[in-house]
Chain A
Amino acid sequence: MAAITLRGCGVVAGVVEGEALVCPTSIQGWGGIDPATGVIKEHGHVNRGVSIKGRILVLPGSRGSNGWSCYFGAANVAGAGPLGMVVTRIDSSVGVAAAVMQVATVVDFASNQDPCRLIATGDRVRVDGGSGVVEIVKVAATPGTDARGQEAAEKRSLGPQNALGGAIRRPRSRT
């Protein structure tokens, strides 16, 4: 199958390739992860017990406490940080986390290219934080079906839009 390509805005340069960890409701700030291991601790989280360590973290944005970036920064210091970040819409907390961790980061995707919808946990993803190109180089199997690869990706790309119109784009003045 051909790689699926998404285009956002590269905000921290670097090219990384790794396994995606998609958190469609983000991760709670202050205590959402154990910074020593990167393991998600948040009660009720879809990925509770999974570590962000060495993964391409795919998020809609931040969530919760202003103590959000510091947990990702601390995980980074502990060697348990993500390999890269792909974020639907940047917000201030994500901006600080990116500035502190300095891992390849791409943000701000068009509404029909929402990475939280088009990338699935387990996909192999290449992130170019300079050009803003995010490629799904190998699609993970869709649980419960025989569909793999292209079929799984097409299924995702036809998924419903957020009923509330998706994330809000902030005006950007990037040149």
Chain B
Amino acid sequence: MLRLTEYEEGVLAGKEGRLKQVSLQNIVRYAKILGAAELCEVTKATVFCGAHNYLDVCRSEDIDEVFSRMNLAVEESIPFDRTYGNSYIQSCVSPCDQDEHEPFGQSPEFFAKNALYLEQARKAGVIIIGSCAPYLTGWLPVRGEHFVTTESSVTLMGNSLWGAMGNSDGIEAAFWSAICGRTPKWGNHVEENRAGTHLVEVQAEIDGILEFDLLGRAIGMRLPSGAVPVISGRFGSVTFQKLRQLFTSLAVSSNCEMSHVVGHTPEARTVEDAFRGREPAGTLMIDERAMVESYQAACDPGAGEIDLVSLGCPHYDIDQIKRVAVYLEGRRVHPGVHFMVWTAYPIKAMADLNGYTRIIEEAGGHIYTGSCPCTIGPTFLDKYSGCVFDSVKQAVAVKSETARAVYLGDLQRCIDAAVAGRWEEEHRWPRSR
């Protein structure tokens, strides 16, 4: 039986308008499906704004109708004109760069349509950031804070690294919560569900960012549904950049929403700490062979001509952009290659300030903001015959969108390929160590 507060009953009765009423009705339906006993207040949210490709099925140019049918799941037209006042709400990626459309083969009309969607969200109270890495701009839920997010890696980071509480939910539910300020108190919103369930013994040597990325996929592809892995291994240096790459590929290859990394995440000072005294339901071993399989599943075999190199999934921080500039300085991107680095808008401003943008542009590359290749979609990707990425998530997602060659490497090997205009056997992991 779902218990509701007086405030929630009032919202359901329509005291705060139709938008909030429908949003809470959806949250209540969702809570009953999950079997939640109560709701909890959401004080951090990211939402998925923009004229995204999947919305095309609605076959309508009426922005309110599209929002209502696709995000609120109702046939009536309800304007998206407000959000919950007590939440810090910012936008995730949209299908457009924040400034340019021509480099992506998008029409001015489509760019304007996307801008209209973003402007509607801004007026409703969403801070337009356009990033899958909301933490780069200060969106950081703390321990015990209930959050919703449209970015799967942020669900894992929020729960695992910051001790905050969130589920993967979905794009529709993130809007519902951002509007009515509630989510079902279920799953990771309940303290006792955060204990580890499965031990992951990592026997492979893991050090570089790409290796943490491959490790996430290797674990995710073997993890039972609903598991909370406790990852234990002798890693090289562990940094935020590495952990976020681990969580990103783990998230996209499983339904994992929380993971402990022994010695590095706060609820896993030891293995026993992470399991909270319970016995593991199973044990996974990740050896070098599993890592190689993980790489081979995300990187096409052989060598070949390439014409797209994209870095920054999740969006790069300023340190990663600096590393691109330092490695690229004095070199030239092959004239046939579109070399792009993706980040959040304020980070691009910092790259401008530090001179990194100038170095990258003088080399023939670009820094873009607000989106990424797989979010822009097939209309953009179909223009290219060979793509190189520094992220398992991007490589795997793009592979489902295109029959073209897709290669995966670390930052340096991706830049080497961009300069050469070719992906070579020698760029492949693990030779790139």
Interfacial residues, chain A to chain B (CB-CB below 8 A): 9, 11-12, 26, 28-32, 35-36, 41-44, 60-71, 73-75, 77-78, 88-93, 95-100, 102, 105, 162-175
Task: Count chain B CB atoms within 10 A of each CB in A11, A74, A98 and give the residue with the most.
Answer: A74
- Closest residue of chain B to A41, judged by CB? B400
For chains A and B in complex, what number of residue pairs have CB atoms within 8 angstroms?
Answer: 180
Interface residues of B in 28-68 (CB under 8 A from A): 29-30, 32-37, 48, 54-58
Interfacial residues, chain B to chain A (CB-CB below 8 A): 1, 26, 29-30, 32-37, 48, 54-58, 69-70, 73, 149-152, 155, 167-174, 184, 186-187, 190, 192-193, 197-198, 222-228, 251-255, 257, 281-284, 297, 374, 396-397, 399-401
Q: Which one, B58, B227, B251, contacts A64 given CB within 8 A? A: B251
Pairwise interchain contact A97-B251, C-beta atoms closer than 8 A = no
Pairwise interchain contact B224-A162, C-beta atoms closer than 8 A = yes
Residues of A within 8 A of B224 (CB): 162, 164-168
Pairwise interchain contact A42-B70, C-beta atoms closer than 8 A = no
Residues of A within 8 A of B186 (CB): 92, 170
Residues of B within 8 A of A43 (CB): 396, 399-400
Alpha-carbon distance A164/B198, docked complex (angstroms): 8
Residues of A within 8 A of B198 (CB): 164-165
Pairwise interchain contact B255-A74, C-beta atoms closer than 8 A = no
Pairwise interchain contact A175-B1, C-beta atoms closer than 8 A = yes
Task: Count chain A CB atoms within 10 A of each CB in B223, B282, B400 and give the residue with the most.
Answer: B400
Pairwise interchain contact B30-A96, C-beta atoms closer than 8 A = yes
Task: Count chain A CB atoms within 10 A of each CB in B26, B32, B73, B255 and give the residue with the most.
Answer: B255
Q: What DSSP secondary structure best describes chain A's contact surface? A: loop
Q: Which one, A61, A63, A99, A163, contacts B30 given CB within 8 A? A: A99
Given A44-B297, A91-B187, A168-B224, A66:B400 Cβ within 8 A:
no
Residues of B within 8 A of A9 (CB): 35
Q: Which one, B57, B168, B223, B228, contacts A77 given CB within 8 A? A: B57
Residues of B within 8 A of A62 (CB): 168, 255
Alpha-carbon distance A86/B183, docked complex (angstroms): 24
Given A99-B33, A165-B224, A174-B35, A69:B170 Cβ within 8 A:
yes
Pairwise interchain contact B255-A63, C-beta atoms closer than 8 A = yes
